[in-house]
Homo-oligomer: A and B are copies of this chain.
Amino acid sequence: MGTSEGTELVTLADIEAAAERISDLVLRTPLIQLPHPQHPDEVLHCKAESLQPTSAFKLRGAYNTIAQVLDQARENGIVAQSSGNHARAVAWLAHRLGLRAVIVMPDAAPLPKIDAVRALGADVEIVPSALRDIRAHELAEQHGYVHVPPYDDLRIIAGQGTVGLEIMQQLPEVDTVLVPVSGGGLISGVATAVKALKPGTRVIAVEPELAADAAQSFREGRRITWEQELTYRTVADGLRTPALGLHPWEHFKRYVDDVVTVTEDQILAAMRHLTLAGRLVVEPSGAVATAAWMHNIVPSTGTVAAVVSGGSVDPALLARVLRQEV
């Protein structure tokens, strides 16, 4: 890992090492060409992380972390806390690698996400949202479990960065990369890879207007926390984290060019367009970057890529979106 002004940052070499480490279980996802609804000759290149075995990019960082402490994980087991996709990634990896896993989930997590974790054989402990991180650390200390954090960790950031590495390999001419932001692990890794390989490429974070702590942090130049009552208003349940992590914030300040926000209606319209024109099943969080492009919130000039981060959608919500009832 490199350091900058005393702060540790992930390097391109860390991301390349992660790519090597995770290649046996992680899908090299395709870039899907999505035509613009108003200008069919313009396309968005969608990095379809929804197609990963556990429906989201989270598998990359989790595996990059576990692979580096596999002996301890084999002996004692692993613990993670998450509202959904990270939990599922860790449980799936534990199942595939034959590890014991305990997953701490907030009581507000969607039921299908909890069921998906249980179906993989992990033990689930439900706690109030505010206590989940404390409880995961407690379990790690008591039982010697390896703790696999969701985003505030350099190994996680390096793993998620493989998304950016692949985009640069698949689309070297890219001018702008749009990335959803919540805790910031994904955008930190992606921005590190993109800026190392082609510094002129713009990296833009996209966030729901109703959970815009990163946008405010970017404008004010300091890490801001939003109340959970505010962030939980958005339909994008994967993007309700109240603040960027400490490690992500350091990467964010250094590499991210801009932060834009999208409305709830724009997110749902993007879900519909991704489904019908892109043949991609996406959850609301997975559609925010596409929403910013579709609604011309970011300039669509040049070659634009967007990370479609996950596909764990509630069937009832997807049916309402298809019928334009929401």
A residues contacting B by CB (< 8 A) are: 27-30, 32-33, 40, 48, 50-51, 53, 55, 119-120, 272, 275-276, 278-282, 311, 313, 315-316, 318-320, 322-323
Contacting A281 at CB < 8 Å: which of B119, B275, B319?
A: B275
Known A281-B281, A322-B322; contact A315-B29, beta-carbon cutoff 8 A: no
List the B side residues contacting A275 at CB < 8 Å: 281, 315, 318
A-B CB contact pairs (8 Å), 22 listed: A27-B32, A30-B51, A32-B51, A33-B53, A40-B119, A40-B120, A48-B51, A51-B280, A272-B315, A275-B315, A276-B315, A278-B281, A279-B280, A279-B281, A279-B282, A281-B281, A315-B323, A316-B322, A316-B323, A318-B319, A319-B319, A319-B323
Q: Is the CB of A279 within 8 A of B50?
A: yes
A50 to B322, CA, bound (A): 18
Q: Is the CB of A55 within 8 A of B279?
A: yes
List the B side residues contacting A119 at CB < 8 Å: 40
Nearest B residue to A272 via CB reads B315
Q: Return A325 CB to nearest CB of chain B, in Å.
A: 9
Q: Is the CB of A322 within 8 A of B315?
A: yes
List the B side residues contacting A27 at CB < 8 Å: 30, 32
Q: Most chain-B Cβ atoms within 10 A of its Cβ — which of A33, A40, A323?
A: A323
A322 to B317, CA, bound (A): 9
Nearest B residue to A320 via CB reads B319
Q: Most chain-B Cβ atoms within 10 A of its Cβ — which of A40, A48, A55, A279?
A: A279
List the B side residues contacting A28 at CB < 8 Å: 30
A216 to B53, CA, bound (A): 37
A120 to B319, CA, bound (A): 28
Q: Return A201 CB to nearest CB of chain B, in Å.
A: 23
